Amino acid sequence: MFTVEIKKDDETLGIKKGEQYLAVRYPYDDEKITLVSRVPDGFDPECNQYWADVKIIPKKRKTN
């Protein structure tokens, strides 16, 4: 699972530019991901997005 940021609003799907979601690869199309839950409230939009419409948010590295 990884975190993505939405690049543009999509009124049909109810997602907005700047929102962040936990996501997984969509198993049936390499061009898409499945949005699992919005960060921080956990809302599940029940939709997929194209890779081109999202930006990957890198994980923060733990420092000792």
Q: Is residue 64 part of a domain?
A: no
Q: Which 8-state DSSP code applies to residue 59?
A: P
CA-to-CA distance for 25 and 36, rounded, in angstroms?
Answer: 10
List pLDDT tens digits, range 18-38. Answer: 999 999 999 999 999 999 999
Task: Record the pTM.
Answer: 0.88
Whole-angstrom distance, CA of residue 31 vs CA of residue 29: 5
Burial class (CB in 10 A: 0-12, 13-18, 19+), 22: middle
Residue 62 lies in a domain: no
- Position 50 in a domain: yes
| Total count of domains within the chain | 1
pLDDT of residue 61 exceeding 90, the answer is no
- Inter-residue contact 4 to 54 (CB < 8 Å): yes
Tell me the CATH number at 36.
2.30.30
Domain limits for position 45: 2-57
